[in-house]
Amino acid sequence: MTDYVLNLENINKRFGGLSALSDINMSVEEGTTHAIIGPNGAGKSTLLNVCIGRLKPDTGSVTFAGETLTGRAPHEITQLGVARVFQTPEIFQEMTLLENVMIPALSYRDGSFRLNAGQKLANQHEIRDEAEHILEDVGLQDMMQTEAGSLSRGDKRRLELSMCLILRPRLLLLDEPTAGMARHDTNRTIDLLKKIKSRGMTKVIIEHDMHVVFSLADKVSVLSRGQIIADGDPQTVREDPKVKEAYLGGAQ
C-alpha cells in the first residue's frame, strides 16, 4: 500500500467572488518530491498557505502523517515536522546568517521550547555546528557573520531554506524557490534541492516555471484557475494538451 504523508481532501477557498481553490484533492507520497505548477494567479500560494495553517479553507481538510492540520496554529504545524519557504523570504534582517539559522532550532526543534535555560545553552554549541554545516551546504559559508539584510535576493532565499533545514522537517514546502533568481543562482538552487532529495525528506515544490521542476519532481500536479487540471509523472503531465493550453492561454 502506498504511504501518503500529506493528504488534501475537498479543499475549497473563496476570496469574495473569486474561487481561488475548487475541490482540491491531492496526496503526497512519503520521501518523494511533489511539484505543484501553474500560471501566475492559479492558486498555488493559497494552497500552500492552507497547508501550513496561514489560511483556513472554507471546506475540506489537510492531514499530515495522520494528524489533521486544518484549524491548527502555524507554530503547532511546524512542531509536527512541517517547514516552509515562502515566496518572499522571512528572515531576521539585522541578525547574522549564523544567528538566523540557529534561531529556528533553538525555538522549535525537538521540543526545545520546553527546555530550561541550562539545557538550551548546552544545545547551543551543537546547533551552532549544525548551522555552520548547513550554511556550507547551501554555499553561504563565507558570509556566516554577515547581516542577513545585506544579502542578495537569491542568497536570502538560500538562507531561508537553511532555516528550514535545521528543523530537520519531515515535510518541506517551498513556494517558488528560484523566483527572482538569475539563471546561475537558479541552477545552483536546483542542484541543492536535488541534494536534499537524496536525504529522504518529503518535499512539495510550488513553481510557475515548469522547466525548473521537471528535473526534480517525482509527481506533478497542475493548477489552473484554482483547479487541478492534470497530475502524474512529469513526462505524462508535460505532454498533456490541457497543460499546454493552460500555459499558453494562461496569465503567464
- Interacting residues with Mg ion (CB under 5 A): 44-45
CA–CA dist 196, 87 (Å, integer):
19
Which member of 43, 53, 169, 234 binds ligand ADP (CB under 6 A)? Answer: 43
CA–CA dist 179, 225 (Å, integer):
20
CA–CA dist 187, 236 (Å, integer):
24
CA–CA dist 122, 187 (Å, integer):
38
> Is residue 11 part of the contact set for ligand ADP (CB under 6 A)?
no
CA–CA dist 73, 5 (Å, integer):
19
CA–CA dist 185, 182 (Å, integer):
5
Could you tell which of Mg ion, ligand ADP, none binds residue 162, using a CB distance below 5 to 8 A set by kind?
none
Which member of 5, 8, 26, 45 binds ligand ADP (CB under 6 A)? Answer: 45
Query: In the complex with Mg ion, which residue's Cβ is closer, 24 or 97?
Result: 24
CA 46, 49, 50, 54 dihedral sign is: negative
Which member of 11, 28, 35, 42 binds ligand ADP (CB under 6 A)? Answer: 42
Query: In the complex with ligand ADP, which residue's Cβ is closer, 45 or 162?
Result: 45
- Using the contact rule CB under 6 A, the part of the chain among 2-10, 43-51, 96-104, 112-120 near ligand ADP is 43-51
Q: How many residues does the chain have?
A: 252
**Strand 59-64 to 171-175 pairing:** unpaired
Which member of 6, 37, 46, 217 binds ligand ADP (CB under 6 A)? Answer: 46
Could you tell which of ligand ADP, Mg ion, none binds residue 46, using a CB distance below 5 to 8 A set by kind?
ligand ADP
Provide the binding-site residues for ligand ADP, judged by CB under 6 A. 15, 18, 20, 38, 40-46
